[in-house]
Amino acid sequence: MLRRSLVLATLQCIALPLMLPLALASCRKSDAHTTISTAASTASIDTTVGHAPSGVRIKIEVLNASKNRGAARRATLLLRDRGYDVVAMGTTRQTQAATLVLDRSNHPEWAELITRVIGGKAVARPDTSRYLDATVVLGSDWTAPPMPFYP
């Protein structure tokens, strides 16, 4: 029994000085990780621009006219985060270079609000047969902003 406690004491004397630097290094790594994640969270997109007016339901259709897969979905998420009602999304057969916001309901101020969010150019193309206020046609010039991570 004495021999066992003597061996354990010797191992503790040898292991403790070896483990202490490793423990301190792991603490430093976690502190550095916290600093990096805090710095990354401060660099965000300006979410104060282009929100839908309160009390108004602006119905939008989003069409992907680029070869970028998932662009319509990303634009839909962005517009819904800003308070717009995206009622349809899809892909066009033809590709185009420029992003357009087509005003379908004779509300040019709404089309301008959408261009502040998406970018591109607002064009008046009234169409009363559609139950839409605007159509967003994403061209190959549109790049999606980085999306927040939702675990």
Per-residue pLDDT tens over the stretch 21-46: 544 454 444 443 333 333 333 333 45
Residue 84: burial class (beta carbons within 10 Å; 0-12, 13-18, 19+): buried
- Phi and psi angles of residue 100, each rounded to the nearest 5 degrees, phi first: -125, 145
d(CA 113, CA 133): 12
24 and 70 housed in the same domain: no
23 and 85 housed in the same domain: no
Does residue 131 lie within any of the structural domains? yes
In tens digits, what is the pLDDT along the chain, a chain of 151 residues?
555 555 555 556 565 555 545 444 544 444 433 333 333 333 334 556 778 888 899 999 999 999 999 999 999 999 999 999 999 999 999 999 999 999 999 999 999 999 999 999 999 999 888 899 999 999 999 998 886 666 6
18 and 74 housed in the same domain: no
64 and 25 housed in the same domain: no
Does residue 51 lie within any of the structural domains? no
d(CA 56, CA 59): 10
d(CA 133, CA 114): 11
107 and 65 housed in the same domain: yes
65 and 123 housed in the same domain: yes
Q: What is the CATH number of the domain that holds 128?
A: 3.30.70.2390
7 and 67 housed in the same domain: no
Which residues constitute the domain of residue 130?
A: 59-138
d(CA 91, CA 98): 15
- What 8-state DSSP symbol labels residue 148? P
Whole-angstrom CA distances from 78 to 12, 84, 86, 141, 145 are 57, 9, 10, 17, 8
Predicted TM-score (pTM) of this structure: 0.66
d(CA 87, CA 133): 10
**CA neighbours closer than 13 Å in the CB half-sphere of residue 29:** 6
65 and 129 housed in the same domain: yes
Domain count, the chain: 2
d(CA 121, CA 100): 5
Does residue 11 lie within any of the structural domains? yes
65 and 134 housed in the same domain: yes
66 and 132 housed in the same domain: yes
